[in-house]
Each structure stands twice: as C-alpha cells, then as structure tokens.
Amino acid sequence: MKKHGVLNRDISIALSKLGHTDRIVVADCGLPIPDHVTCVDLSLKPGVPNFLDVLSVMLQEMAVEKFTLAEEIKVKNQPLQEALWRQEIPVDYVTHEKFKKLTNEAKVIIRTGENTPYANVILHAGVIFS
C-alpha cells in the first residue's frame, strides 16, 4: 500500500503521465465535464471534499507553472480568488465560457464537492528543473 502522496489511484496515474504544459482541472460540483475527458469524481456531498483541500494536495504533488481562472471569480468568489493568489502562481483569466471550452484540453478533471461559484482552476504543469 502506498504510504505518501495521493492515495487515489486515478489521480496518481494522471499525475505520473503529465508533461510540461499538460493541464489538470480541479472543479466544483457544477462544472460540466466534457464526455471525452477523464473525470475523477471525489464529490461526496455538498462541500465535501472542498476545493481548497483538493487543490492543496495537487500543489504538493505537481509542478504548476500557471493557473487559469474564470474572470467571474473576481466578483462572485473573492475569498477563493484571494486564497489562490496566496499560492504565488501566475494567473491567467478568461471568461467562464472560454474556461469551459479549455476544459476540453485537460488530461483529467477532478470534481470536488465544492458548491461555491466559480471554484474551478486549470493547473498548467510545469517542470521540476530549470
């Protein structure tokens, strides 16, 4: 049995397959999931697990060079936006409609139980060397 890191086998596999600039989405429970993109659904009930807990684990496990967020988070979910800024990772903003289109390019979408507006982020894989 694995002792450290992500215990979820589907997330662990997805992380091990990532290359530079590949994308993983951490999503709230309402984001539409494209049929062709693998979804790892962690949601148990509204709010569980929450977005920030899942994101925290992802940031421990992968090199992230950039976030993509929906522009609407600035007005509709300022507390979450501020929490993301504290990560000190560069952020690109797009409209929520564009964000949903970008999810088509994700390797995997991790669905949380988060039930606050625009609690979605695209994580762009970085590299572990310079």
Annotated catalytic sites, by residue? 20
**Pairing verdict, β 23-27 and 121-125:** antiparallel
Question: 103, 37 in Cβ contact below 8 A?
Answer: yes
Cα separation of 110 and 9, whole Å?
Answer: 12
Determine whether the annotation assigns residue 118 to a binding site.
yes
Determine whether the annotation assigns residue 53 to a binding site.
no
Strands across the sheet containing 38-41: 38-41, 108-111, 23-27, 121-125, 64-70, 91-94
Determine whether the annotation assigns residue 125 to a binding site.
no
Residues annotated within a binding site for substrate: 28, 96, 118-120
Residues annotated within a binding site: 28, 96, 118-120
